[in-house]
Amino acid sequence: MMALKVLLALSICVASLGAQQSVYIEDLTWPEVQYAIAAGKTSAIIYVGSTEQNGPHMAIGKHNFIARWVAGAIAIKLGNALVYPTLPFAITGDLTQKTGHMRFPGSVSLSSQTFRSVVHDIATSAADAGFRNVFLMGDHGDGQTELAAVAKELDGQWKTRGVRVFYVGDVYFKEKEQARTYAASHGLPTTDVHAGFDDTSELMALDGQHRLIRSEKLAASTGARTAITGVDGDPTRSSPALGDIFLKYKIDDAVTQIRQLLAAR
């Protein structure tokens, strides 16, 4: 995992001669994106994050930090992909009734229809840019159904024109299963739902400057306490080493599914 982190760090540096090296299109100029596509980077990764409360111990941007890093690692491993800017908003609760994460200050929620429309337009932008394969995935649980629906809709419309749109659900669902299996075999909680040891460990692994985790506020919280803290799990069992394991699950699961989808294209 450390070697992968070093590779990612090197890949996002743009050389002084102007050669395109970054996998993130936001780092590039439009001619560099155009050249990259012509040179074979014909897959676009659209990885959705979320802006939501993550308890007293973890920064609200957790999903966004993880999504951007994992998307870059996926692109590097695939070798033929570029990453669109992380969509920082998802479905996190009802804005009027203040349900879910919207009970806590700082959370942002999109309606299901708005979320679908935004993802639809980002994917359309990728197709218009010349990408032949567009992959939709998300780091937040709510919105997975919408991502799948948008991919199915656009794929049906565009495949006759040689553009395919795929939903990559394994990066979320399969990784969750693997994390639970790992937890069960290592004496860790298997019931963490939100901001527990798995999410917290992933961010710990990426938080080299120690600015995103408030270690002194790590505390288990379930049942009635969840409504007060926003945590449903036990983040006290977290560690960067566990985060490396879970991040690798996400990368490998996504790459495997993407390669399977492309093989069946």
Q: Is residue 86 part of a domain?
A: yes
Q: Is residue 14 part of a domain?
A: no
Question: Mean pLDDT for the chain?
Answer: 93
Q: How confident is the model at residue 3 (pLDDT cuts 50, 70, 90)?
A: very low
Q: What pLDDT score was predicted for residue 15?
A: 37
Dihedral sign computed on CA atoms, order 136, 139, 108, 101 = positive
Q: Is residue 15 part of a domain?
A: no
Q: What pLDDT score was predicted for residue 1?
A: 59
Q: Is residue 4 part of a domain?
A: no
Residue 97 neighbours by CB under 8 Å, 6+ apart: none
| pLDDT for residue 7 is more than 60 | no
Q: What is the span of the domain harbouring residue 159? A: 23-263
Per-residue pLDDT reduced to its tens digit, 133-173: 999 999 999 999 999 999 999 999 999 999 999 999 999 99
Per-residue pLDDT reduced to its tens digit, 75-129: 999 999 999 999 999 999 999 999 999 999 999 999 999 999 999 999 999 999 9
User: Pick from 172, 163, 167: which is nearest to 198 by CA?
Assistant: 172
Q: Is residue 7 part of a domain?
A: no
Q: What pLDDT score was predicted for residue 249?
A: 98
Q: Is residue 16 part of a domain?
A: no
CB 171 within 8 A of CB 254: yes
Q: What pLDDT score was predicted for residue 86?
A: 98
Amino acid at 29: T
Q: How confident is the model at residue 21 (pLDDT cuts 50, 70, 90)?
A: confident
End-to-end CA distance of the chain: 30
Chain centroid to Cα 197, Å, comes to 17
| Residue the block writes with tokens 């936001």 | 26
Give me the percent of the chain exceeding a pLDDT of 70.
92
Number of domains in the chain: 1
Longest Cα–Cα distance of the chain, Å, equals: 58
Distance CA(249)–CA(239), nearest Å, equals: 16
Q: Is residue 5 part of a domain?
A: no
Q: Is residue 37 part of a domain?
A: yes
For residue 141, the domain's CATH number is 3.40.50.10310
